[in-house]
Amino acid sequence: MSVEPAEDDALIRGAAGGNRAAFGELYVRYARMVHGILLVRVPPGDAEDLVQEVFLSAMRQLRSLRTTAAFRGWLGAIARNRAIDYFRNRKQNEPLDQAEGHAGRIHPGAVEACQVLDLIRSLPEAYRETLVLRLVEGLTGPEIARQTGLTPESVRVNLCRGMKMLRTLLGENQ
Amino acid sequence: MNDDYLWDRSGSPDPEIARLERMLAPLRYRHRGDFAGAVHPRARWAWAAVAAAAAVVVAAGLLATAIPAARTTAWQVSQLQGAASLGGRQVALATALGAGQLLRTAGSSQLTLESGEVGRIDLGPDSELRASSGRKLMLQRGRLHAFIWAPPREFVVDTPSARAVDLGCEYTLNVDAAGDGLLHVEMGWVAFQYHNREAFIPAGAECVTRKRQGPGIPFYADSSAQFRGDLAAWESGDAAALPAILGAARPRDALTLWHLLTRVPEDARAGVFDRFAQLVAVPPQVTRTAVLRRDGHALELCWDALNLENTGWWRGWERPWK
Protein backbone atom coordinates (compact mmCIF):
# COMPACT_ATOMS: atom_id res chain seq x y z
CA MET A 1 0.00 0.00 0.00
CA SER A 2 1.61 3.20 -1.12
CA VAL A 3 0.35 6.32 0.58
CA GLU A 4 1.51 9.82 -0.19
CA PRO A 5 2.11 11.83 3.00
CA ALA A 6 0.58 14.96 1.41
CA GLU A 7 -2.56 13.01 0.64
CA ASP A 8 -2.62 11.78 4.23
CA ASP A 9 -2.25 15.33 5.51
CA ALA A 10 -5.26 16.44 3.50
CA LEU A 11 -7.26 13.57 4.98
CA ILE A 12 -6.13 14.46 8.50
CA ARG A 13 -7.17 18.08 7.99
CA GLY A 14 -10.49 16.96 6.54
CA ALA A 15 -11.12 14.55 9.39
CA ALA A 16 -10.24 17.21 11.98
CA GLY A 17 -12.82 19.42 10.30
CA GLY A 18 -15.50 16.81 10.79
CA ASN A 19 -15.31 15.06 7.43
CA ARG A 20 -16.37 11.54 8.31
CA ALA A 21 -15.41 10.09 4.94
CA ALA A 22 -11.87 11.44 5.39
CA PHE A 23 -11.68 9.85 8.80
CA GLY A 24 -12.95 6.59 7.35
CA GLU A 25 -10.14 6.67 4.82
CA LEU A 26 -7.59 7.30 7.56
CA TYR A 27 -9.04 4.32 9.35
CA VAL A 28 -8.50 2.13 6.32
CA ARG A 29 -4.94 3.38 5.94
CA TYR A 30 -3.84 3.19 9.55
CA ALA A 31 -5.85 0.31 10.99
CA ARG A 32 -3.05 -2.19 10.45
CA MET A 33 -0.53 0.06 12.16
CA VAL A 34 -2.85 0.45 15.16
CA HIS A 35 -3.62 -3.26 15.19
CA GLY A 36 0.09 -4.12 15.12
CA ILE A 37 0.80 -1.85 18.08
CA LEU A 38 -2.07 -3.43 20.01
CA LEU A 39 -1.12 -6.97 19.03
CA VAL A 40 2.25 -6.54 20.69
CA ARG A 41 0.47 -5.83 23.96
CA VAL A 42 -2.98 -7.44 24.18
CA PRO A 43 -4.44 -10.88 23.37
CA PRO A 44 -4.94 -11.28 19.61
CA GLY A 45 -8.64 -11.97 19.98
CA ASP A 46 -9.21 -8.61 21.63
CA ALA A 47 -6.89 -6.51 19.48
CA GLU A 48 -9.40 -6.07 16.67
CA ASP A 49 -12.07 -4.72 19.00
CA LEU A 50 -9.57 -2.31 20.48
CA VAL A 51 -8.62 -1.01 17.01
CA GLN A 52 -12.10 0.37 16.64
CA GLU A 53 -12.00 1.86 20.14
CA VAL A 54 -8.69 3.55 19.37
CA PHE A 55 -10.12 5.17 16.25
CA LEU A 56 -13.28 6.15 18.05
CA SER A 57 -11.14 7.84 20.69
CA ALA A 58 -9.03 9.50 18.00
CA MET A 59 -12.13 10.74 16.20
CA ARG A 60 -13.30 12.47 19.38
CA GLN A 61 -9.94 14.10 20.05
CA LEU A 62 -8.76 14.90 16.54
CA ARG A 63 -9.73 18.56 16.72
CA SER A 64 -7.20 19.01 19.54
CA LEU A 65 -4.33 17.91 17.30
CA ARG A 66 -2.23 20.95 16.42
CA THR A 67 -0.39 19.73 13.32
CA THR A 68 -1.05 16.99 10.82
CA ALA A 69 2.57 15.86 11.19
CA ALA A 70 1.80 14.77 14.74
CA PHE A 71 -1.06 12.48 13.69
CA ARG A 72 0.93 9.29 13.21
CA GLY A 73 2.76 9.41 16.51
CA TRP A 74 -0.37 10.61 18.26
CA LEU A 75 -2.46 7.73 16.92
CA GLY A 76 0.22 5.25 17.99
CA ALA A 77 0.25 6.76 21.45
CA ILE A 78 -3.53 6.40 21.74
CA ALA A 79 -3.16 2.73 20.80
CA ARG A 80 -0.46 2.15 23.42
CA ASN A 81 -2.49 3.95 26.08
CA ARG A 82 -5.57 1.95 25.15
CA ALA A 83 -3.58 -1.26 25.66
CA ILE A 84 -2.58 -0.05 29.13
CA ASP A 85 -6.22 0.76 29.91
CA TYR A 86 -7.20 -2.68 28.70
CA PHE A 87 -5.13 -4.38 31.38
CA ARG A 88 -6.05 -1.81 34.00
CA ASN A 89 -9.75 -2.42 33.40
CA ARG A 90 -9.25 -6.15 33.36
CA LYS A 91 -7.52 -6.07 36.73
CA GLN A 92 -10.40 -4.09 38.14
CA ASN A 93 -13.14 -6.20 36.64
CA GLU A 94 -11.83 -9.76 36.66
CA PRO A 95 -10.88 -12.12 39.45
CA LEU A 96 -7.11 -12.26 39.81
CA ASP A 97 -6.85 -15.88 38.73
CA GLN A 98 -8.50 -15.03 35.41
CA ALA A 99 -6.55 -11.87 34.75
CA GLU A 100 -3.45 -13.66 33.46
CA GLY A 101 -3.08 -15.90 30.45
CA HIS A 102 -6.20 -14.62 28.74
CA ALA A 103 -5.87 -15.72 25.11
CA GLY A 104 -8.81 -13.73 23.81
CA ARG A 105 -11.01 -15.03 20.98
CA ILE A 106 -8.66 -16.49 18.45
CA HIS A 107 -9.19 -18.87 15.60
CA PRO A 108 -8.06 -22.41 16.50
CA GLY A 109 -5.82 -22.37 13.44
CA ALA A 110 -3.91 -19.43 14.87
CA VAL A 111 -2.35 -21.30 17.79
CA GLU A 112 0.99 -21.67 16.03
CA ALA A 113 0.87 -18.01 15.08
CA CYS A 114 0.32 -17.06 18.71
CA GLN A 115 3.37 -19.07 19.73
CA VAL A 116 5.51 -17.08 17.31
CA LEU A 117 3.87 -13.87 18.48
CA ASP A 118 4.86 -14.73 22.03
CA LEU A 119 8.48 -15.04 20.89
CA ILE A 120 8.30 -11.64 19.21
CA ARG A 121 6.83 -10.17 22.39
CA SER A 122 9.85 -11.45 24.30
CA LEU A 123 12.22 -9.36 22.16
CA PRO A 124 13.45 -5.92 23.24
CA GLU A 125 10.72 -3.35 23.02
CA ALA A 126 12.23 -1.44 20.10
CA TYR A 127 11.98 -4.48 17.84
CA ARG A 128 8.55 -5.83 18.77
CA GLU A 129 6.29 -3.35 17.03
CA THR A 130 8.42 -3.14 13.91
CA LEU A 131 8.53 -6.91 13.50
CA VAL A 132 4.81 -7.32 14.10
CA LEU A 133 4.03 -4.60 11.57
CA ARG A 134 6.27 -6.31 9.03
CA LEU A 135 5.55 -10.00 9.63
CA VAL A 136 1.95 -9.93 10.84
CA GLU A 137 0.42 -6.84 9.27
CA GLY A 138 2.40 -7.16 6.06
CA LEU A 139 3.66 -3.57 5.92
CA THR A 140 6.99 -3.00 4.23
CA GLY A 141 9.82 -1.15 5.95
CA PRO A 142 9.13 2.12 4.08
CA GLU A 143 5.43 1.85 4.96
CA ILE A 144 6.26 1.25 8.61
CA ALA A 145 8.49 4.33 8.63
CA ARG A 146 5.78 6.44 7.01
CA GLN A 147 3.02 5.24 9.29
CA THR A 148 4.86 5.32 12.60
CA GLY A 149 6.94 8.43 12.03
CA LEU A 150 10.19 6.54 12.67
CA THR A 151 13.07 7.18 10.28
CA PRO A 152 13.59 4.55 7.58
CA GLU A 153 17.07 3.93 9.01
CA SER A 154 15.66 3.15 12.46
CA VAL A 155 13.04 0.84 11.01
CA ARG A 156 15.65 -1.01 8.97
CA VAL A 157 17.88 -1.47 11.99
CA ASN A 158 14.96 -2.63 14.14
CA LEU A 159 13.89 -5.11 11.49
CA CYS A 160 17.33 -6.57 10.95
CA ARG A 161 18.29 -6.85 14.60
CA GLY A 162 14.85 -8.03 15.65
CA MET A 163 14.75 -10.67 12.92
CA LYS A 164 18.20 -11.90 13.88
CA MET A 165 17.09 -12.35 17.49
CA LEU A 166 13.86 -13.98 16.41
CA ARG A 167 15.72 -16.49 14.25
CA THR A 168 17.80 -17.41 17.29
CA LEU A 169 14.71 -17.87 19.44
CA LEU A 170 13.01 -19.95 16.75
CA GLY A 171 16.09 -22.18 16.56
CA GLU A 172 16.07 -22.65 20.32
CA ASN A 173 12.38 -23.54 20.33
CA GLN A 174 12.52 -26.12 17.57
CA MET B 1 21.96 -12.80 4.34
CA ASN B 2 20.18 -10.36 2.02
CA ASP B 3 17.75 -8.16 3.94
CA ASP B 4 15.97 -6.71 0.90
CA TYR B 5 13.03 -9.04 1.27
CA LEU B 6 12.71 -8.23 4.96
CA TRP B 7 12.88 -4.52 4.16
CA ASP B 8 10.48 -4.11 1.26
CA ARG B 9 9.80 -7.59 -0.12
CA SER B 10 12.08 -6.99 -3.06
CA GLY B 11 14.62 -9.56 -4.14
CA SER B 12 14.34 -13.27 -3.56
CA PRO B 13 11.99 -14.19 -0.72
CA ASP B 14 13.79 -15.28 2.41
CA PRO B 15 12.26 -18.73 3.03
CA GLU B 16 12.08 -18.32 6.80
CA ILE B 17 10.51 -14.87 6.62
CA ALA B 18 8.03 -16.07 4.00
CA ARG B 19 7.16 -18.99 6.28
CA LEU B 20 6.65 -16.64 9.23
CA GLU B 21 4.45 -14.36 7.12
CA ARG B 22 2.23 -17.27 6.17
CA MET B 23 2.14 -18.59 9.73
CA LEU B 24 1.28 -15.20 11.21
CA ALA B 25 -1.31 -14.28 8.58
CA PRO B 26 -4.29 -15.42 10.70
CA LEU B 27 -3.43 -12.69 13.21
CA ARG B 28 -3.40 -9.93 10.61
CA TYR B 29 -5.97 -7.17 10.88
CA ARG B 30 -9.02 -7.52 8.69
CA HIS B 31 -11.25 -4.57 8.05
CA ARG B 32 -14.69 -5.02 9.49
CA GLY B 33 -16.54 -1.87 8.54
CA ASP B 34 -16.53 1.77 9.45
CA PHE B 35 -17.33 3.58 12.61
CA ALA B 36 -20.94 2.66 12.53
CA GLY B 37 -19.62 -0.61 13.92
CA ALA B 38 -16.95 0.94 16.06
CA VAL B 39 -19.22 1.94 18.86
CA HIS B 40 -17.96 1.11 22.31
CA PRO B 41 -19.95 -1.75 23.87
CA ARG B 42 -21.42 0.61 26.46
CA ALA B 43 -22.45 3.05 23.76
CA ARG B 44 -23.81 0.17 21.75
CA TRP B 45 -26.01 -0.78 24.67
CA ALA B 46 -27.19 2.80 24.94
CA TRP B 47 -27.94 2.85 21.23
CA ALA B 48 -29.76 -0.44 21.57
CA ALA B 49 -31.86 0.95 24.40
CA VAL B 50 -32.81 3.98 22.32
CA ALA B 51 -33.54 1.78 19.33
CA ALA B 52 -35.61 -0.55 21.48
CA ALA B 53 -37.59 2.34 22.89
CA ALA B 54 -38.20 3.67 19.41
CA ALA B 55 -39.23 0.24 18.29
CA VAL B 56 -41.74 -0.04 21.11
CA VAL B 57 -43.30 3.30 20.19
CA VAL B 58 -43.50 2.40 16.53
CA ALA B 59 -44.68 -1.10 17.31
CA ALA B 60 -47.59 0.38 19.22
CA GLY B 61 -48.52 2.28 16.10
CA LEU B 62 -48.12 -0.77 13.98
CA LEU B 63 -50.49 -2.83 16.06
CA ALA B 64 -53.35 -1.18 14.26
CA THR B 65 -51.95 -2.13 10.88
CA ALA B 66 -50.95 -5.56 12.14
CA ILE B 67 -48.18 -6.70 9.83
CA PRO B 68 -48.59 -10.45 9.45
CA ALA B 69 -46.76 -12.40 12.12
CA ALA B 70 -43.25 -13.38 11.06
CA ARG B 71 -40.17 -14.20 13.06
CA THR B 72 -38.43 -10.86 13.17
CA THR B 73 -34.75 -10.42 12.48
CA ALA B 74 -32.44 -7.80 13.97
CA TRP B 75 -32.68 -5.75 10.75
CA GLN B 76 -34.66 -2.57 11.20
CA VAL B 77 -35.44 0.27 8.85
CA SER B 78 -33.37 3.25 9.99
CA GLN B 79 -33.83 5.56 6.99
CA LEU B 80 -36.52 5.72 4.36
CA GLN B 81 -36.88 7.91 1.31
CA GLY B 82 -40.02 7.37 -0.69
CA ALA B 83 -42.16 4.30 -0.32
CA ALA B 84 -41.43 0.67 0.47
CA SER B 85 -43.50 -2.33 1.42
CA LEU B 86 -42.86 -5.33 3.64
CA GLY B 87 -45.09 -8.33 3.24
CA GLY B 88 -47.43 -6.13 1.22
CA ARG B 89 -47.72 -3.50 3.98
CA GLN B 90 -46.28 -0.02 4.02
CA VAL B 91 -42.89 0.26 5.72
CA ALA B 92 -42.18 2.88 8.38
CA LEU B 93 -39.05 3.80 10.31
CA ALA B 94 -38.04 1.12 12.84
CA THR B 95 -40.02 -1.56 11.02
CA ALA B 96 -38.29 -4.86 11.69
CA LEU B 97 -37.59 -7.18 8.80
CA GLY B 98 -39.36 -10.46 9.37
CA ALA B 99 -37.89 -13.74 8.21
CA GLY B 100 -39.43 -14.73 4.91
CA GLN B 101 -41.10 -11.38 4.26
CA LEU B 102 -40.45 -9.61 1.00
CA LEU B 103 -39.17 -6.06 1.32
CA ARG B 104 -39.77 -4.05 -1.84
CA THR B 105 -38.73 -0.48 -2.63
CA ALA B 106 -40.63 1.62 -5.15
CA GLY B 107 -39.08 2.95 -8.34
CA SER B 108 -37.56 6.10 -6.90
CA SER B 109 -37.30 5.02 -3.26
CA GLN B 110 -34.51 3.76 -1.10
CA LEU B 111 -34.09 2.71 2.50
CA THR B 112 -31.45 1.75 5.01
CA LEU B 113 -31.58 -1.29 7.25
CA GLU B 114 -29.42 -1.63 10.32
CA SER B 115 -28.58 -4.54 12.54
CA GLY B 116 -26.39 -3.70 15.53
CA GLU B 117 -24.53 -7.00 15.38
CA VAL B 118 -24.18 -7.31 11.62
CA GLY B 119 -23.99 -4.01 9.76
CA ARG B 120 -25.86 -1.58 7.59
CA ILE B 121 -27.56 -2.14 4.26
CA ASP B 122 -28.78 0.46 1.80
CA LEU B 123 -31.39 -0.88 -0.54
CA GLY B 124 -31.73 1.01 -3.80
CA PRO B 125 -34.79 1.82 -5.91
CA ASP B 126 -36.91 -0.90 -7.42
CA SER B 127 -35.32 -3.61 -5.31
CA GLU B 128 -36.61 -6.78 -3.68
CA LEU B 129 -34.99 -8.26 -0.59
CA ARG B 130 -36.01 -11.18 1.56
CA ALA B 131 -34.46 -12.21 4.88
CA SER B 132 -33.99 -15.87 5.67
CA SER B 133 -32.45 -14.90 8.99
CA GLY B 134 -30.52 -12.02 10.50
CA ARG B 135 -27.36 -13.17 8.79
CA LYS B 136 -28.74 -14.42 5.51
CA LEU B 137 -30.55 -12.22 3.01
CA MET B 138 -31.75 -12.82 -0.51
CA LEU B 139 -31.50 -9.98 -3.04
CA GLN B 140 -33.88 -10.98 -5.77
CA ARG B 141 -33.60 -7.80 -7.77
CA GLY B 142 -32.17 -4.29 -7.52
CA ARG B 143 -29.20 -2.75 -5.76
CA LEU B 144 -27.83 -3.43 -2.28
CA HIS B 145 -24.95 -1.65 -0.64
CA ALA B 146 -23.63 -3.41 2.47
CA PHE B 147 -21.35 -2.17 5.22
CA ILE B 148 -20.71 -5.20 7.39
CA TRP B 149 -18.98 -5.43 10.73
CA ALA B 150 -19.99 -8.97 11.67
CA PRO B 151 -17.03 -11.38 11.67
CA PRO B 152 -16.03 -12.65 8.21
CA ARG B 153 -18.16 -15.44 6.72
CA GLU B 154 -21.08 -14.86 9.07
CA PHE B 155 -23.14 -12.69 6.75
CA VAL B 156 -24.26 -13.80 3.30
CA VAL B 157 -26.44 -12.37 0.57
CA ASP B 158 -27.93 -14.84 -1.88
CA THR B 159 -28.82 -13.80 -5.39
CA PRO B 160 -30.50 -15.88 -8.09
CA SER B 161 -27.07 -16.68 -9.51
CA ALA B 162 -24.57 -16.77 -6.62
CA ARG B 163 -24.04 -16.30 -2.91
CA ALA B 164 -21.98 -13.34 -1.73
CA VAL B 165 -20.13 -14.18 1.47
CA ASP B 166 -18.91 -11.20 3.45
CA LEU B 167 -15.29 -11.38 4.50
CA GLY B 168 -15.25 -8.15 6.47
CA CYS B 169 -16.04 -5.42 4.04
CA GLU B 170 -18.15 -2.92 2.18
CA TYR B 171 -19.62 -3.76 -1.18
CA THR B 172 -22.37 -3.06 -3.69
CA LEU B 173 -24.37 -5.79 -5.32
CA ASN B 174 -26.65 -5.30 -8.32
CA VAL B 175 -29.06 -7.93 -9.57
CA ASP B 176 -30.99 -7.41 -12.80
CA ALA B 177 -34.41 -8.72 -13.75
CA ALA B 178 -32.84 -11.84 -15.33
CA GLY B 179 -31.11 -12.75 -12.06
CA ASP B 180 -27.61 -11.89 -13.26
CA GLY B 181 -25.51 -9.80 -10.95
CA LEU B 182 -22.51 -7.52 -10.59
CA LEU B 183 -20.57 -7.18 -7.37
CA HIS B 184 -18.26 -4.26 -6.67
CA VAL B 185 -16.12 -4.38 -3.51
CA GLU B 186 -15.20 -1.08 -1.92
CA MET B 187 -13.37 -2.33 1.15
CA GLY B 188 -12.14 -5.69 2.39
CA TRP B 189 -13.13 -8.88 0.58
CA VAL B 190 -16.18 -10.75 -0.68
CA ALA B 191 -16.33 -14.33 -1.85
CA PHE B 192 -18.83 -15.25 -4.54
CA GLN B 193 -20.00 -18.87 -4.47
CA TYR B 194 -22.18 -21.11 -6.58
CA HIS B 195 -21.87 -24.88 -6.26
CA ASN B 196 -18.16 -25.62 -6.68
CA ARG B 197 -17.34 -22.27 -8.21
CA GLU B 198 -15.76 -19.56 -6.12
CA ALA B 199 -14.37 -16.13 -6.79
CA PHE B 200 -12.52 -13.95 -4.29
CA ILE B 201 -13.00 -10.27 -4.87
CA PRO B 202 -10.86 -7.66 -3.11
CA ALA B 203 -11.45 -3.93 -2.74
CA GLY B 204 -11.47 -2.18 -6.08
CA ALA B 205 -12.47 -5.28 -7.99
CA GLU B 206 -15.73 -6.46 -9.51
CA CYS B 207 -17.21 -9.77 -10.49
CA VAL B 208 -20.13 -10.67 -12.69
CA THR B 209 -22.41 -13.55 -11.82
CA ARG B 210 -24.77 -15.26 -14.22
CA LYS B 211 -27.77 -17.37 -13.60
CA ARG B 212 -27.04 -21.11 -13.78
CA GLN B 213 -23.33 -20.35 -14.24
CA GLY B 214 -22.40 -18.69 -10.98
CA PRO B 215 -19.57 -16.25 -10.39
CA GLY B 216 -17.36 -15.22 -13.24
CA ILE B 217 -13.72 -14.15 -13.10
CA PRO B 218 -13.01 -11.10 -10.91
CA PHE B 219 -11.37 -8.07 -12.47
CA TYR B 220 -10.26 -4.70 -11.20
CA ALA B 221 -12.69 -1.92 -11.98
CA ASP B 222 -9.88 0.23 -13.35
CA SER B 223 -8.88 -2.34 -15.97
CA SER B 224 -9.35 -1.32 -19.58
CA ALA B 225 -12.68 -1.71 -21.34
CA GLN B 226 -10.90 -3.91 -23.86
CA PHE B 227 -9.62 -6.22 -21.09
CA ARG B 228 -13.07 -6.50 -19.54
CA GLY B 229 -14.67 -7.03 -22.92
CA ASP B 230 -12.27 -9.84 -23.76
CA LEU B 231 -12.86 -11.40 -20.37
CA ALA B 232 -16.63 -11.28 -20.91
CA ALA B 233 -16.15 -12.84 -24.34
CA TRP B 234 -14.03 -15.66 -22.89
CA GLU B 235 -16.57 -16.29 -20.17
CA SER B 236 -19.32 -16.53 -22.74
CA GLY B 237 -17.40 -19.30 -24.49
CA ASP B 238 -15.04 -17.52 -26.88
CA ALA B 239 -11.77 -19.34 -26.16
CA ALA B 240 -10.00 -17.21 -28.77
CA ALA B 241 -10.30 -14.19 -26.44
CA LEU B 242 -7.79 -15.65 -23.98
CA PRO B 243 -4.56 -14.43 -25.67
CA ALA B 244 -5.89 -10.86 -25.70
CA ILE B 245 -6.71 -11.09 -21.98
CA LEU B 246 -3.23 -12.33 -21.19
CA GLY B 247 -1.59 -9.76 -23.41
CA ALA B 248 -3.44 -6.81 -21.90
CA ALA B 249 -3.06 -7.90 -18.27
CA ARG B 250 -1.26 -5.47 -15.95
CA PRO B 251 0.57 -6.71 -12.83
CA ARG B 252 -2.50 -6.17 -10.64
CA ASP B 253 -4.60 -8.11 -13.15
CA ALA B 254 -2.74 -11.17 -11.92
CA LEU B 255 -5.79 -11.50 -9.65
CA THR B 256 -7.83 -12.23 -12.78
CA LEU B 257 -5.16 -14.56 -14.13
CA TRP B 258 -5.02 -16.49 -10.87
CA HIS B 259 -8.75 -17.19 -11.12
CA LEU B 260 -8.29 -18.15 -14.76
CA LEU B 261 -5.69 -20.71 -13.65
CA THR B 262 -8.42 -22.49 -11.73
CA ARG B 263 -10.94 -22.33 -14.59
CA VAL B 264 -9.25 -22.65 -17.98
CA PRO B 265 -9.03 -26.03 -19.70
CA GLU B 266 -5.80 -27.93 -19.18
CA ASP B 267 -4.40 -27.10 -22.61
CA ALA B 268 -4.71 -23.36 -21.95
CA ARG B 269 -3.33 -23.41 -18.42
CA ALA B 270 0.33 -23.20 -19.40
CA GLY B 271 -0.19 -19.94 -21.26
CA VAL B 272 -2.03 -18.44 -18.32
CA PHE B 273 0.64 -19.50 -15.85
CA ASP B 274 3.49 -18.24 -18.02
CA ARG B 275 1.87 -14.82 -18.21
CA PHE B 276 1.08 -14.92 -14.48
CA ALA B 277 4.74 -15.62 -13.75
CA GLN B 278 5.75 -12.61 -15.86
CA LEU B 279 3.52 -10.33 -13.82
CA VAL B 280 4.09 -11.74 -10.34
CA ALA B 281 7.18 -12.94 -8.49
CA VAL B 282 6.24 -16.59 -8.19
CA PRO B 283 8.07 -18.34 -5.33
CA PRO B 284 10.90 -20.60 -6.54
CA GLN B 285 9.27 -23.67 -5.04
CA VAL B 286 6.29 -23.32 -7.40
CA THR B 287 6.87 -25.47 -10.44
CA ARG B 288 5.09 -25.06 -13.73
CA THR B 289 4.25 -28.76 -13.70
CA ALA B 290 2.54 -28.48 -10.32
CA VAL B 291 0.43 -25.55 -11.45
CA LEU B 292 -0.53 -27.27 -14.68
CA ARG B 293 -1.94 -30.19 -12.74
CA ARG B 294 -3.70 -27.69 -10.45
CA ASP B 295 -1.78 -28.74 -7.39
CA GLY B 296 -3.50 -27.09 -4.43
CA HIS B 297 -0.31 -26.10 -2.63
CA ALA B 298 1.20 -24.58 -5.76
CA LEU B 299 -1.97 -22.56 -6.38
CA GLU B 300 -1.89 -21.37 -2.79
CA LEU B 301 1.68 -20.18 -3.19
CA CYS B 302 0.66 -18.40 -6.39
CA TRP B 303 -2.13 -16.73 -4.43
CA ASP B 304 0.36 -15.64 -1.77
CA ALA B 305 2.52 -14.19 -4.52
CA LEU B 306 -0.32 -11.81 -5.41
CA ASN B 307 0.62 -10.08 -2.16
CA LEU B 308 -2.92 -8.96 -1.47
CA GLU B 309 -3.80 -7.51 1.87
CA ASN B 310 -5.84 -8.99 4.69
CA THR B 311 -6.25 -12.48 3.31
CA GLY B 312 -5.83 -14.41 6.55
CA TRP B 313 -9.44 -15.58 6.15
CA TRP B 314 -8.39 -17.42 3.00
CA ARG B 315 -6.50 -20.04 4.99
CA GLY B 316 -9.73 -21.53 6.21
CA TRP B 317 -11.60 -21.30 2.90
CA GLU B 318 -13.00 -24.32 1.09
CA ARG B 319 -10.95 -23.83 -2.08
CA PRO B 320 -12.58 -26.59 -4.14
CA TRP B 321 -9.66 -26.92 -6.53
CA LYS B 322 -7.52 -28.43 -3.75
Per the model's pLDDT, the better-predicted residue between A85 and B53 turns out to be: A85
Question: Which positions in chain A touch B23 (Cβ < 8 Å)?
Answer: 112-113, 116
Q: What angle do CA B279, B285, B288 make, to 5 degrees?
A: 60
Angle of CA points B15, B19, B23, to nearest 5°: 175
Cβ distance of B25 and A113 shorter than 8 Å: yes
Dihedral over alpha carbons B232, B235, B241, B243 (to 10 degrees):
110
End-to-end CA distance of chain B: 34
Is residue B46 scored above 50 in pLDDT? no
- Considering CB atoms only, which of A23, A51, A116 is closest to B23? A116
- Of the pLDDT bands very low, low, confident and very high (cuts 50, 70, 90), residue B228 is very high
One-letter amino acid for residue A67 of the chain: T
Q: Does A22 touch chain B (CB under 8 A)?
A: no
In the predicted model, is pLDDT for residue B314 greater than 60?
no
pTM metric for this prediction: 0.53
Give residue-wise pLDDT tens across range A41-53. 999 888 888 898 8
Give me the tens of pLDDT residue by residue for chain A, a chain 174 residues long: 445 567 788 888 888 888 878 888 888 889 999 999 999 999 988 888 889 889 888 888 887 777 777 888 889 989 998 888 888 776 655 544 444 444 445 555 577 889 999 999 999 888 999 999 999 998 999 999 988 888 899 999 999 999 999 999 998 876
Q: A-chain residues within 8 Å CB-CB of B6?
A: 134, 141, 159-160, 163
Residue of B27, B32, B185 to mutate for A, most A C-beta atoms under 10 A: B27
Phi, psi (deg, nearest 5) at residue A22:
-65, -40
- The CATH architecture to which A5-172 belongs is Orthogonal Bundle (1.10)
Q: Nearest C-alpha of chain B: how many angstroms from A96?
A: 23
Q: Is the pLDDT of residue B256 over 60?
A: yes
What integer pLDDT is reported at residue A45 of this predicted model?
82
Which residues are bridge partners to B102 per DSSP?
A: B130
| A44 neighbourhood in chain B, CB within 8 Å | 27
Query: So what's the pLDDT on residue B77?
Result: 92
Domain layout of chain B by residue ranges: 28-216, 222-322
Q: Could A167 and B9 be called an inter-chain contact, meaning their C-beta atoms sit closer than 8 Å?
A: no
A58: nearest Cα among A97, A22, A94, A110: A22
Amino acid identity, position B193 = Q
pLDDT at position A117 is 95
Q: Which residues in chain A touch residue B31, judged by CB atoms under 8 angstroms apart?
A: 28, 31
Identify which of A31, A136, A142 has the shortest CB distance to residue B27: A136
A113 and B34 within 8 Å at the Cβ level: the answer is: no
For residue range B86-108, list pLDDT tens digits in order. 988 899 988 999 888 899 999 99
Q: Quick one: CATH architecture of B28-216?
A: Sandwich (2.60)
- Chain A contact for B32 (CB, 8 A cutoff): yes
Residue B36 pLDDT more than 50?
no
> Which band of pLDDT confidence, cut at 50, 70 and 90, is reported for residue B2?
low
> Any alpha helices (H) in chain A, and if so which ranges?
5-16, 20-39, 44-61, 71-93, 96-99, 111-121, 125-131, 141-148, 152-172
Record: contact A113-B27, CB cut-off 8 A: yes
Contacts of B27 in chain A (CB under 8 A): 39, 44, 106, 110, 113-114, 117, 136
Q: What is the mean pLDDT of the segment spanning B265-290?
A: 94
